[in-house]
Each structure stands twice: as C-alpha cells, then as structure tokens.
Amino acid sequence: RRYVAGGQCKSTAKLEGKVVIVTGANTGIGKETARDLAQRGKVIVACRDIVKAEAAATEIRAETGNQQVIVKKLDLADTKSIREFAEKFLAEEKELHILINNAGVMLCPYSKTADGFEMHLGVNHLGHFLLTFLLLERLKQSAPARIVNVSSLAHHGGRIRFHDLHGEKSYNCALAYCHSKLANVLFTRELARRLQGKSQRRVVFTANALHPGSVRSELVRHSFVMTWLWKIFSFFLKTPWEGAQTSVYCAVAEELDSVTGQYFSDCQPAYISPRGRDDETAKKLWRVSCELLGIQWD
C-alpha cells in the first residue's frame, strides 16, 4: 500500500498573500490539490460545474477555516468561457502566483468542443494553452510564479498527429487521451524554453509538468470497462489525496524555485518519452495551437 501511495510533498511552505488557480478542482486530485493549498493561501476553484464546485469549496472552507476559497466558472471546452473567466479574474485579482492546469477528460466517445476541437485535445491541451496565454502577464507581474501542468505517464503512448489533430480520419479514445497528455509535456517544455530565453537573471517564473499516478477518480467515467476495472483493482490505485501530492510539490516545494521545463512523478524527476523531448514538434505544436485559437504568442 505504501508503495502504491508513492511520494508525498514534505514542504510546509505557506502562501500568505498569494493567489492560486486550480482548474477542475471540484473532484479528484484537483479537489485535493485545492484542499492542501487552501491551508496555505487563497485558492480560486475554476470549474465547469458550479454546483459541484460550490459544494467542494464549502467543504474545503469548513475543513481549513480559510474563507478565501473562491469558485469561478470555467468551461475549458469553450474558448468563450475561458476568455470570460480570464477577463473577470484579471478585473478582480491584481496578482496570480500559481496556475495549476489540472482539469481534464479521458476516454470520451468522439465529440468536439464548442469551437470544433476534438474533445481531448480541446480540453486537455488547447483550453489550458489559451488560459495560460490570457493569464501570463499577470503571472509575470506577480513573479516568482509557477505554472503546473498535470500530464500523465500516458504521454509515452502519444504522438502529435498534425495531419489529423481532431481525429476526423481515425479516432481511438484511449490514444486521443495519450496524444493530449503528450501535448501537455511539449507545451510545458516549450513554454519554459521561451520564458528562460527572455530572462536575464535567476529563473523566477517556472513551468513544469507531472504524472499524478493511477488514481481512483471520476476521470474514467466515460468507460464502463475502465470504471469496472478501477473498482476491482482499487487497492492498487492511489487515493485522490495521494494523487495530488506531486501537483502540490510542483506548486510549493522550495527546491523547485529555479527548476523549469521538467516532468515529475511521485515528487521527483521522471523520464520523458523521446516524443516528449522533440523540440521541433513542440515548436510546431505551439504554432498550430496559436493558429487554432486565433492568438499571437511570440
């Protein structure tokens, strides 16, 4: 059981006066990440389902005694919602120190977002890509700041199929998830590279990705088979609290103050697949993502 649980974040760092956004924080590892960080500072719970988000926030406030756990609507499957969230956040909050891009979908039947993107790519990658773009200047102004992207070991099975990004020629829900998790790793590394290239001093603005582990959560709800297997083998899966440990580690650990562009698992550096280390693919994905979203991000 201890082996399955994996690493734990040992940092006791406080976040007084700091602001954190956690996407998809109404359930699973997102909720546990928000719960931990609410014991340290102000947390924005950014979710599509406001009712579930309010229930989670009420629970976290009661447990931590922190009333600065605030719910904001964010639907990553709709760029209009992403822009509205960012606009309201920037109008209300003068600082942002940690952005945790946690929300995600897995094993969805073929479907598209409001903007016509394949659902896994649209939510897991493009949605967070746009959100990060819209909040980047506020993060820079608040430096030292961190971006934490929740990826997966599944990125090892992914590839960026530029000829069929939206799965219109062929589609497999498991592979689509893998492709989107690879995109998370590539985005993280390219973002870190660009930010480092513009910094002349110590790194004070970092971006890292992570694998949370195999976690008992609602992420497999779209697959009857996976839901059944998750129940049978639940003893060999992490709890949401255990799965949140690496997210919290990447967000607060003092030893990561100047570490950027890396990938972690169980609160320690982990191996990135060869495709995840392909800088040319990362640069191309960046360009294509900007084109799809209609933004200029140099």
- Given 3, 110, 177, 249, the catalytic residue: 177
Q: What is the CA radius of gyration of the chain?
A: 18
Could you tell me how far CA 76 lies from the centroid of its own chain?
Answer: 11
Give the whole-angstrom CA distance, residue 152 versus residue 130.
20
Place of tokens 């992490």: 238
- H-helix segments, 145-219: 173-198
Q: Summarize the chain as % helix, strand, coil (round to 5).
A: 50, 15, 35
Residues 6+ apart with CB under 8 A from 14: 40, 41
CB neighbourhood size of 156 (10 A): 17
The β-bridge partners of 263 are 209
Could you tell me how far CA 198 lies from the centroid of its own chain?
Answer: 24
Question: Is residue 117 a contact partner of residue 166, using CB atoms and an 8 Å limit?
Answer: yes
Give the whole-angstrom CA distance, residue 213 versus residue 219.
12
Give the whole-angstrom CA distance, residue 276 versus residue 185.
6
Q: Is 177 one of the annotated active-site residues of the chain?
A: yes
What is the set of active-site residues?
Answer: 177
